[in-house]
Amino acid sequence: MPSNKSVSDAPIVQFTNCRILRDHQLQREDLWVREGKILNPEKLFFDEKGSADVQLDCKDSIIAPGFIDVQINGGFGVDFSLATDDFKSGINLVSQKILSHGVTSFCPTLVTSPPSVYHQVLPQISVRNGGAHGAGILGAHLEGPFISKEKKGAHPEHCLRTFEAGAFRDLLATYGSLDCVQIVTLAPEMRRSSEVIQELTKRGICVSLGHSVANLSQAEEAVQHGATFITHLFNAMLPFHHRDPGIVGLLTSDKIPAGRRVFYGMISDGIHTNPAALRIAHRAHPKGLVLVTDAIAGMGLAPGRHTLGQQVVEIDGLNTYIAGTKTLSGSVATMDTCVRHFQEAIGCSVETALEAASLHPAQLLGIEHKKGTLNYDSDADFLMLNDNLYVQATYIAGEEVWRQDASRM
C-alpha cells in the first residue's frame, strides 16, 4: 500500500516488536512516528491510505516517554549556579550527556546565589527543543534564595533573602528577569509569600515549597494561593510529626482546592530518602510523585571536591556533602538510576516507575498534552529500555539521539 504523499512528504517510521507505555500500561503495539509526532495508525490507514516508509524492529524493547528532570543543578563538571563566560557551552554539554540517562527535557536548576549570578546566568538560559544537540530545556528552576535559614541545607546563608514591603518587586530585583523561569522554590512561612505565590502563578510559573519550617496550615495556605509542588520531599523541611505533619501533610490534606493536585519531588538515589520513607510517600499519594535527580556538577565525575554554586562539596561514593561537614548537598545519581532504585524500593510496576519520571513531571508543568506520554499527536520523545529499565536508545522528535554501544550491552 503506497504512502499518501498528499498529506505529508515526511517519512513515516513504524517501530515494531515492542511494548509501549500507553494509558498506564505496557501494550504490545507498534509505534508510528512522522514529523516528530506520534501518529494514530487508524487515521493513517483509513483516512490517508498510508503506510510506513521505514520499519524498525525494537527486539521486544519497552518504549516509554522520555524522562523529564525538573531539578538538576549541573553535571560533568558544569555548575548551573556559576556565572562563567562559557555558560552556554556548559549547559550544552550537560544537555547532550544526559541523553544517555534517558532525559529528553529538563529544568536547569540554580541554588541560592547572589543577585549578580542570576543577572548573568538567566539571560543565557533559553527554552528550546531537544534534538541531536541534547535534551530540551523547559525553563529554569530557581531554588532559593527566599528560603528558611533553619533549613538552608547546602545553600549559602549569606545569600538568603526575605520578602520586604515590595515583596514581588524584591523577587524581580533579585532574579533580574523571569522570562525563562519555569519553577521557583520558596519557603511559604516567609512574610508576604502568599502575594508572591499568586504573582508567580499568574505568570504561569510553578511555585514549589521547600527549604522550609512551614507548618501544615502555612503549606495549605500556599497551595490555596497556587503552589503545586514540593521540593525534594522530606529533605530540608520539618520532619513529619503526628500533631502537625508540616509540608509532608500536604500529601493527604483535605484542604487542597478541588481539581488541584499537589506534586512532590523525590531523590530516589538510596541516600537522600530511606526506602521506607519512599514507600510511605508513594502509598499516601502515588499520582503526585515526581522523580528528580538533584544532580550536581560532580555527576559523571570521579569522587573528590566539586562545586555547588557558592559552596565546595565533596563526593564520597554516592554521598555528596558540603566540604568538611555531613550536610547532604545534591546528588550524583542519574535519572535512569533513580527510576531503577525507585522501582526496586517500592516494589511497584515498571509502568509506575517510568511514569514518575515522565508523565508526572509533565503534568506538574502542564505540558502533558505534548510531553510525558506516547499519546497520538504528542511529541515523539521516547526511550527504548530493556526489562531491567536500562536505557538502550533515546529518541527526540522521532530521531535517534543516543544509542547504547552494542559492545557494552
Binding residues: 143, 154, 211, 232, 235-236, 243, 272, 328-330
State how far the Cα of 312 lies from the Cα of 239, in Å rounded to an integer: 27
Cα of 305 vs its chain's centroid, Å: 25
Question: What DSSP string runs through 115-183?
Answer: HHHHHHHGGG---B--BTTB-EE--EEEE-SSS-STT-TTS-GGG-----TTHHHHHHHHHS--TTEEE
Which runs of consecutive H residues, i.e. helices, occur in 311-396? 335-346, 350-356, 359-365
| DSSP reduced 3-state for 32 | strand
What element of type H or E holds 221?
helix 216-224
| DSSP reduced 3-state for 228 | coil
The C-alpha cell at 125 is 538560559
State how far the Cα of 145 lies from the Cα of 186, in Å rounded to an integer: 8
Binding residues for Zn(2+): 143, 211, 232
Binding residues for substrate: 154, 235-236, 243, 272, 328-330
79, 294, 379, 381: the active-site residue: 294
Alpha-carbon distance values, 149 to 174, 211, 395 (Å): 18, 8, 42
State how far the Cα of 206 lies from the Cα of 186, in Å rounded to an integer: 11
Q: Any catalytic annotation for residue 294?
A: yes
Nearest to 18 by CA among 353, 348, 395: 395
Nearest to 162 by CA among 122, 116, 196: 196
| DSSP reduced 3-state for 284 | helix
Nearest to 365 by CA among 151, 164, 127: 127
Q: Which residues are catalytic?
A: 294
